[in-house]
Amino acid sequence: MSRVHGVSKTRRIYITQLVIRCLVLVICVLLLIFKPEQAEILHGWNFFRRFSPFHLLWLAWMLDMLWQIVPVRKHLTIALGSQKHFGFRFQPIRESINYQALRRHIITTTKAAYKVFAIWFAVVAAVSLLRYFGLLTDTALLLVTIAFYVCDLICVLVWCPFRLILKTRCCTTCRIFNWDHLMMFTPMLTVHGFYSRSLLLMAIADWLIWELCIMMYPERFWEQTNSALRCENCTDKLCTQYCEANRRKK
């Protein structure tokens, strides 16, 4: 694979998004310190009673999840890895598909994915216990979620700990690319109100569609059957640190 010069448009957009998310985290921390009443939006039906800056964050999260459910062809901020379950992103290989190898790949990656799921479940259970015993507040859980919002792009652009389990070459081929919102919002599982419940339900819908597509169209998720996922055809160049590592191996 030839060396990639410069930074791709997709990576530049994601870097900008990471900076914005960091600023959002700082603003939310300051807002909750100096105007803690803004957190009332989390409780019950307060979402509909008064405006809060957190309405804007809710809308941004909802739109992010919507773009993972609706096949938008010309949305510049959506990476291939997040849209590979859509038919218009699928580029079938010219040779015949080895369905036995495809099945083995899907089984192996799914087992690895649910190891991640088990680890994340343990993390969420620990956070929920801290909330149950009063060591964390609903406001703290919201801040944890916003921190995960930042960490999501750090995993893409800098380093992802889940690659140690998934053995994934890069984000484009990642089995759990669209698990991000489910993982992001599960810390708010014990927050009772429309704000958290609506985000969680949308995240679950997003996750279910992704998992159903893997079962129904497994050929879209493997570079040996979907040539769009191969390094030589990648236009995103999103996680360049992994591209470089793979180039050196070759």
Task: Dump pLDDT digits (tens) for 51-66.
Answer: 999 999 999 999 999 9
What 3-state DSSP class applies to 23? helix
Q: Contact 105/222 with Cβ under 8 angstroms? A: yes
Confidence grade of residue 242 (pLDDT, cut at 50, 70, 90): low
Q: What is d(CA 68, CA 209) in angstroms, rounded to the nearest whole number? A: 9
Q: Contact 238/14 with Cβ under 8 angstroms? A: yes
Digit-coded pLDDT (tens) for 17-41 = 999 999 999 999 999 999 999 999 9
Distances from the Cα of 250 to the Cαs of 75, 93, 172, in angstroms? 33, 22, 19
For residue 4, the model assigns a pLDDT of: 43
Element (H, E) at 146: helix 138-157
With CA atoms as reference, report the closest residue to 82 among 198, 207, 201, 167: 207
Percent of the chain with pLDDT over 70: 92
Q: Contact 210/189 with Cβ under 8 angstroms? A: no
Tokens of 190: 């014990």
Spans of all domains in the chain? 9-249
HSE, CB side, 13 Å, CA atoms: give it for residue 145. Answer: 29
Digit-coded pLDDT (tens) for 164-184 = 899 888 889 999 999 999 999
